[in-house]
Structure formats: C-alpha cells, structure tokens
C-alpha cells in the first residue's frame, strides 16, 4: 500500500477537460434553444415540449440529486461519522414510492405547470451528459484508490478497524444525529419534500408524455440513487483508508472537511493528467445540473403564478423571453445565496437542514390538500405559517447552539502517522475539534435544557416537525372554519381510482380520442396537462388549460 505523499496541482490537461465539460454543456443548451425552430413558447421552454420519455428524465432526476453536496459532502460524512449514511438506501425507496403513488397522480391529472397552482428539454439533456461526467469522475477515484490501497479488502479492513462500518444503530433517541430511525423516518420526510413536491423535480417527471412514463422515470431514478450512494459511501471509506493515521483536516492541510475529496483526488491522481480535472468537472456537473433545474423551476413559478394571471395579453413568445430573462436574474441571485450558504458549516448537513426547514412545511401543505378532503384555504395558510415558525425556530437555534459531540458521535481521527513536526498537543480526535464551523455559532455559552434538547434534535427531523405541525394545525383550523361544508372537487385529492389506474396499462383501450382537426406530433396526448388543447385560447384570451 502506497504511503501518502505531497499532493499534485492542476496541469494544462486538467483545465482542458474541465473547460470541455463546460463547453459541451453550453452547446447542448444552445442546440435546443434553436433546434426545430427553437423554444417558441413558454411551455416549450418550461416543460420541454411535453414529449419526454422515462429514461432521460430519470437520468435528469438523478443528476439533480447528485450535486456537489453529494460529490463532496457524502464522502466527508462517511469519513467522519461512518457508513451508517448508507441506510439512506432504504429511505430512497420509500421516498420514490410515496412520490410516485401519492403526489404524482394528483399533479398529473390536474395538468399543471407549476406545483404551486415548469428551456426544460435543454436542462434534461444537459443533465444526461453531466451524469456521464459524474459517473466517470467517481469511477476514476474509486479505481485508483483501490489500486493504491492494495484492493477493496484493505479499504474495508481499515474501515472496520476504524469503526467506520457502523451500519446498525437502533437508538430511538431523536436527539442522536444519525441512527437507523432518524435516517429512515427523518430522511424520508426530508427527501420526499424534494422529490414529491419540489418544483424542479416535479417539473421533470411532469414533462413526460404519459403518467406511466412519469412513474417509470421515478423508479428508474431509484436505481441511479442507489448507484450514487454506493459510490459516494465507498469514496468515504477510501478516504479513511488513505488517511486513517494522518488526517489532513486535523493536520490543517485542509481548512474544512468538505475539502477532503479534492485533496484525495490531487493526491492519488496526480500522475494522470486530466483526471483531477475530470473530478472537478464531476463536482461542477453536479452543481450545474442542480442549479440549472432550480433556476428553470423558479422561472416557471414566476411566469405561471405571478406574470400570466395579471398580464393576459402577453403572447407565448413574449412569455418565453420573460422566462429566459428570469432565469438570468435567478442565476445571479443563486451566486449571492451560495456565498451566504458557505457560512453555514459542513456542506451536507447545511443543505439537508435547509431542505428540511423549508421543504417540510411545504410538503405538509401539499399533503394537507391531497390527503385531507375537508382542508380549506384558511387551514392551509395557518398550518403553513405554523410549520414554518416551528421548523425555522429549531433549525436556526441548532445553527446558533449546535448539539454536543455526544449527540453527533464523531469518530476518531489522528495524525500519528503524519511525517511532520507536530508535538503531542497537536494530536487531537474529532471530539476535540468543532463539529460545526458555522459563523452563526455562539461559543462559550452556558448550556440550557432548550439547547440540549430542542436545539439538539437531529437535523433530519426538521422536515418531519415542519410537515406534522403544518398538517395538525391545518386540520384543526379547517375543521373550526367550516371545512366540512365546502364543495369537494375530486381532482384535487388522492382517490382510489388514482391507485387503480396503475393497472390501466394492462387493459385494452376501448376507444381512442381523435384530434384530427388539430394535427400535432405524436406524443403527450395521454397527459391531460400536455396535450395541445391546453395551449389554445378562446376568443376572450383565456387559457383553456387547468391551473390550481
């Protein structure tokens, strides 16, 4: 097994590979902007022409999940806290099933563009390319790490000796950062808020030409999630095998745990010009896929919910230009928000904490509308405000007064094997190092029961708390404000027919609707949201499409 040496630096070929990824990604977007007459309408720009099939959409869903948070954050998480993170494999299964069988049917039959009533084709095909880049980046690191460490068995043995193969922890205490139950329960709520009701994800599978293709894209995406999780967890174990006796973070060779993966890449791939550039392209691809989809989703919500209802005279071409202009504006805002997010500490936990604080109450809002027939607008609004208040309270409190090490359970790291001049006072374990590097943290404060209990709640439960509070308050307020007296439209709730329709694919169609008077390309007519009638306007200029 090779011993660690001085790390390399970027060379010309690394910059060439990285620049090539950016050029190809941009070329894909430009091609779909002008191919076939360009994206003439806002629907083309936001929904990809509504003729997408399952496989590219599934790859796009996977790419948006595999952001820099995954590429950089997950290996660092495994390096510091162990492979218990792999329990998320079960979580992803529950998330996909709930998203496909509860939320997707309702969104689909409503025929909506924005989940709050969706250039998507370019986003999806760019994501497909970037998935290939990300897989290649992960593969190069894994293969070289296995070779340099002397085989997979060596990596696993080092991980076992260092306590990293800690898969099973059934402690039911919700204050423990990661246990089987926090990952299964809290993780399911957190990721369902992303896959079930998040605009950028819903916009993708709603772009499929039929509901069957949309559900299929989610289930195919599940395989991609498992593959990514396996790669990122193994990279974390390889990190530990490489640096188990010379931790770069404790030795201050890197300033943050999220820099460990780039450090490993420059260490083990320095003899292969271009491969470090490939890994950086991998991390940037993850970021680009997430940001591009999110920007497109923000533009969709703005156009559908804030511009179209008040400027009905705008043509589809004008709306398309507005959508693209809003994408530029939101891109600039994302850069500013990224600078703020860098102050929140560890990358993975910071991202999932934000998802939980914001996504939990929103998922509660959608669940209230879809699952509770008597829910009304008053109950929904009050429930949402209550959910936000509670989830932001615990989330911000945890940033200011983070939990103690006995709640987070960091594993041992040392620098005894480093070839340096460190003395005994420099030999630390992670329990002696600050768990969070958030600039919002207050140090040297007297701990109170509120800090040691409420603010020490596992960050994965932020979403759970927000969802349940929104549902509970929404139900109570709806019941007390005449929710049972309102007329019920079955389109807006999940019904038995929605589940039974899963088996329609095995039945013969009794009749086929004819749209001969409106000749269009084949594709999308099975989707009530995506057939061409939605884009027609009557004499008064009102759209015939369905909006919430």
What's 426-488 look like in SS3?
HCCCHHHCCCCCCCCCCCCCCCCHHHHCCCCCCCCHHHHHHHHHHHHHHHHHHHHCCHHHCCC
CB neighbour class for 422 (10 Å; exposed up to 12, middle 13-18, buried from 19): middle
Residue whose tokens read 């998330």: 95
Beta bridge partners of 11: none
Q: What pLDDT is attached to residue 457?
A: 94
Q: What pLDDT is attached to residue 431?
A: 40
Distance CA(5)–CA(268), nearest Å, equals 9
Two structure tokens written together for 21: 């990824």
Give Cβ neighbours of residue 219 (< 8 Å, ≥ 6 apart).
Answer: 96, 100
Q: For the chain, how far is it from start to end, CA to CA, in angstroms?
A: 61
Give Cβ neighbours of residue 238 (< 8 Å, ≥ 6 apart).
Answer: 75, 141, 142, 145, 146, 149, 155, 264
Residue whose tokens read 């957190």: 190
Question: 24, 122 in Cβ contact below 8 A?
Answer: no
Q: What pLDDT is attached to residue 164?
A: 93
Two structure tokens written together for 174: 């919700």
Mean pLDDT for back-to-back runs of 10 residues, the chain (548 residues) = 64 88 78 58 48 79 74 90 94 94 85 55 72 84 93 94 91 93 95 84 79 89 91 94 92 88 90 86 70 76 83 83 86 78 70 87 93 91 96 91 86 81 43 50 78 91 96 94 80 78 59 45 41 39 39
DSSP assignment letter at 493 = S
Question: 40, 320 in Cβ contact below 8 A?
Answer: yes
Question: 373, 467 in Cβ contact below 8 A?
Answer: no
Q: What pLDDT is attached to residue 483?
A: 79
Question: Can you state the angle between helices 12-34 and 275-301, rounded to 10 degrees?
Answer: 30
Beta bridge partners of 52: 208
Distance CA(206)–CA(224), nearest Å, equals 19
Cα 499–Cα 532–Cα 490 angle in degrees, nearest 5: 30
Give Cβ neighbours of residue 423 (< 8 Å, ≥ 6 apart).
Answer: none
CA dist list (Å): 326 to 298, 329, 535: 8, 5, 21
Q: What pLDDT is attached to residue 49?
A: 46
CB neighbour class for 397 (10 Å; exposed up to 12, middle 13-18, buried from 19): middle
Question: 88, 222 in Cβ contact below 8 A?
Answer: no
């Amino acid at each position: 097994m090779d011993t660690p040496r001085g790390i390399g630096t970027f060379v010309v070929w690394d910059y060439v590979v990285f620049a090539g990824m950016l050029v190809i990604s941009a070329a894909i977007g430009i091609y779909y902007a002008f191919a076939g007459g360009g994206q003439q309408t806002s629907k083309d720009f936001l929904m990809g022409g509504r003729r997408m099939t399952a496989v590219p959409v599934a790859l796009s869903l996977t790419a948006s999940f595999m952001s820099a948070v995954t590429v950089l954050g997950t290996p660092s998480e495994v390096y510091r806290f162990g492979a218990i993170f792999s329990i998320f494999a079960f979580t992803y299964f529950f998330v996909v099933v709930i998203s496909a069988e509860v939320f997707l049917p309702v969104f689909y039959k409503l025929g909506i563009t924005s989940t709050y009533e969706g250039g998507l084709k370019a986003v999806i095909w760019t994501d497909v390319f970037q998935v290939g880049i990300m897989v290649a980046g992960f593969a190069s690191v894994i293969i070289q790490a296995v070779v340099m460490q002397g085989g997979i068995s060596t990596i696993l043995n080092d991980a076992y000796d260092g306590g990293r193969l800690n898969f099973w922890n059934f402690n039911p205490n919700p204050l423990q950062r990661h246990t089987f139950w926090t990952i299964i329960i809290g993780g399911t709520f957190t990721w369902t808020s992303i896959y079930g009701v998040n605009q950028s994800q819903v916009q993708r599978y709603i772009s499929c030409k039929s509901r069957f293709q949309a559900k299929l894209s989610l289930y195919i995406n599940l395989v991609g999630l498992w593959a990514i999780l396996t790669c990122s967890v193994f990279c974390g174990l390889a990190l530990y095998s490489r640096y188990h006796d010379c931790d770069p973070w404790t030795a201050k060779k890197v300033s943050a745990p999220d820099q460990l993966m780039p450090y490993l890449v420059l260490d083990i791939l320095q003899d292969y010009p271009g491969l470090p550039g490939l890994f950086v392209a991998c991390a940037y691809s993850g970021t680009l896929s997430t940001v591009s989809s999110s920007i497109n989703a923000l533009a969709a919500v703005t156009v559908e919910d804030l511009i179209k209802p008040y400027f009905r005279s705008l043509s589809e071409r004008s709306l398309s230009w507005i959508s693209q202009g809003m994408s530029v504006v939101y891109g600039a805002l994302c850069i500013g928000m990224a600078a703020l997010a860098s102050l929140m500490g560890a990358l993975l936990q910071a991202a999932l904490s934000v998802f939980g604080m914001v996504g939990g109450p929103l998922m509660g809002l959608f669940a209230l509308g879809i699952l509770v027939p008597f829910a009304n607008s008053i109950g929904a609004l009050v429930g949402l405000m209550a959910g936000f208040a509670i989830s932001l309270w615990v989330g911000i409190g945890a940033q200011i007064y983070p939990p103690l090490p006995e709640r987070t359970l960091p594993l041992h790291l040392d620098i005894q094997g480093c070839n340096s001049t460190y003395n005994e006072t420099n030999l630390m374990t992670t329990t002696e190092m600050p768990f969070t590097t958030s600039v919002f943290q207050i140090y040297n404060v007297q701990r109170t029961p509120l800090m040691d209990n409420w603010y020490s709640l596992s960050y994965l439960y932020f979403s759970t708390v927000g969802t349940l509070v929104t549902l509970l308050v929404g139900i109570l307020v709806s019941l007390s404000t005449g929710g049972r007296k309102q007329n019920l439209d079955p389109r807006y709730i999940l019904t038995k027919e929605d589940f039974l329709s899963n088996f329609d694919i095995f039945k013969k169609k009794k009749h086929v609707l004819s749209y001969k008077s409106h000749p269009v390309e084949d594709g999308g007519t099975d989707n009530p949201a995506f057939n061409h009638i939605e884009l027609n306007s009557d004499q008064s200029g009102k759209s015939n499409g369905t909006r919430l």
